[in-house]
Structure 1
Amino acid sequence: MFKKLLELNETTLAILAVLFIIGITGIIMFKKRKQVNLTTKMMVYGSLCISLSFVLSNIRLYRLPQGGSVTPASMLPMVIYAVVFGPLPGIIAGVAYGLLQYIQASYVVHWAQIIIDYPLAFGFLGLAGLYRKNLIVALVIGTFGRFIMHFLSGIIFFGHYAGDTPVALYSLIYNGSFLGVDLLICIVVSFMPQIQNLVRELKKKSSLLNTY
C-alpha cells in the first residue's frame, strides 16, 4: 500500500490531502457543535469582523499575478473573532468572508479550485480559535490553515506555472511569499496595546469565554 502511495503524482496526493484535512476538521467541529450556541452577539461581532477584513483586503499593498495579495492586516479581524468566540464560529465567519473574497476579486481556473481557495482557505482562518490564550500563536495557526489550502490548490490547479521548478516547491514559494508577509504585518499590528486591550475586553464580555 505504501508503495502505491509513492507512485501517485503530486496532484492526486494533494487531492487526498484536501479530503483528509476536511475530514479531520469535520470530526473536530462535530465534537464541538453541541458546545456552541450562535447568539445575536456572535453574529453582530462576526458581521463587523467580516466587514473590517473585507475593507482592509481592498487595500492591496502588493498583488500577485495568479491571485493572492499583501494587505494591511486584513486577516487580523477574522483571527480575533475566532480567538474570542472559538473555532467553529470562526470557521463559519471565515467561509462567509471567503465567499466575499470570491465575489470581490477571484482568480478562477476550475470550480473545485473556487471551493479550496475561497470558502475553505478563508474558513480555515477560524482554526485560530483552537488556541485562544495567545493572539500571536492563534495568528500563526489560522494563517497556516489558510496556507495549507492555497498550497494544495497550487499543486492541483496551478502546476503549469511552475516550469522546471517542482510543483510543490513552486506552490510553497508562491503562497508563502504573500501569506508570510501578511502574517508578519498582522503580528506587528497585534502587538499594539490597543489591539491587545480590545481582545481582552471582548473576551471578558463574551459569554463563551470558557466554552472550549
Structure 2
Amino acid sequence: MERKRLINLTEIAVMAGVGAVLSVFVTLRLWPQGGSVSLAMVPIVLVAYRRGWVAGVICGLLVGLFNLMTHPLIAHPVQVVLDYPLAYAALGLAGLFPVRGEAPGWTGTGRIAWGVTVAGLIRFLSHFVSGVVWFGAYAPEEFSPVLYSALYNLSYIIPDILVSILIVSLLAAKAPRLVKTG
C-alpha cells in the first residue's frame, strides 16, 4: 500500500512539473490580460485517467499554483482562486470518465473526448465567473461583461480542449498504459 501511494505521488509530481513546463514553453498567447493555448491540460488529464480524478485534481491544483507564481494577473483574492488553482484543478475531473469502463458502446476516444470536454467546460466556468466579476470593465462598450467574458474565455478554452483531446487520444492509441487505471 505504501509503495502504491509513493508511485501515485511521484507520478502526480512529475506530471505537474511537465504541465508547468508546457504552460510556459509551449504556448500561443492570445490576449495580453491572460488566456493562452498550451499543452498544460494534457499531463493533468493523463494523471486523471491513469490515477483517478482525485490525483488529477491535485495535479491540476499544482499546475495552477505554478502558473500563479510564474505569470500572475491578480485583481482580487477570489479571482486568484478562480483563475489559477480552481480552474486547473477542475481539469482533473476528466478522471470521472474513465477510458476503460463498463459503459457499452463507448470507445476510448469517445470517453477521452467526453472527459476532456466536461473538465474543460468546468475550467471555462471558473474563468468565466472571474471574467464577469473582475474583468468586465475591460469589455468594449458594445459588449456586456457576460458576453465579453464568454467570448474571451472560449477563444482559448475551445482550442485547448480540442488539442488536448487529439493528443491524449493519440497517446492512448499508441501507448495505452498512459491512460490505463493503475
TM-score by length of 2: 0.84
Alpha-carbon RMSD: 1.9
Paired amino acid for 2:131: G
Aligned equivalents of 1:205, 1:188: Cα separation in 2:
20
Secondary structure of 1:39's aligned partner: helix
Superposed, which structure 2 residues align to 1:50-69 within 5 Å?
50-58=16-24, 59-69=26-36
Q: 1:75 offset after TM fit, Å?
A: 0.5
1:83·1:138 contact (CA, 8 Å) conserved in 2?
A: no
1:68 alignment partner AA = G
Other-structure match for 1:4: none
Q: CA shift at 1:203, angstroms?
A: 5.0
Question: Which of 114, 129, 132 does residue 152 from structure 1 map onto?
Answer: 129
Note if contact 2:46-2:178 (Cα within 8 Å) is conserved in structure 1.
Answer: no
TM superposition shift of 1:205: 6.6
SS at match of 1:100: helix
- What secondary structure is seen at the aligned counterpart in 2 of 1:61? strand
* Matched residue, 2:93: 127
Count of aligned residue pairs for this structure pair: 167
Letter in 1 for 2:122: G
Q: 1:139 matched to which residue of 2?
A: 116
Asked if the contact 1:80–1:135 (Cα under 8 Å) also holds between the matched residues in 2, the reply is: no
What's the CA shift for 1:191?
A: 3.4
Contact 2:51 2:181 in 1 (8 A): no
- Of structures 1 and 2, the larger Rg is shown by 1
Deviates more, 1:118-127 or 1:57-66: 57-66
For residues 201 and 55 of structure 1, what CA distance do their matches in structure 2 show?
Answer: 22
Q: Which residue of 2 aligns with 1:111?
A: 77
CA positional deviation for 1:137: 1.4
Residue of structure 1 equivalent to 2:173: 196
Using the size of structure 1 for normalisation, the TM-score is: 0.73
Distance 2:74 2:179 in 1: 38
- For residues 9 and 74 of structure 2, the distance between their equivalents in structure 1, rounded to whole angstroms, comes to 29
Shift of residue 100 of structure 1? Answer: 0.5
- Which residue is equivalent to 2:15? 49
- 1:185 shift after superposition: 1.5
| Runs (5+) with no aligned partner, structure 2 | 100-110
2:62 corresponds, among 96, 107, 110, to 96
Percent sequence identity is 33
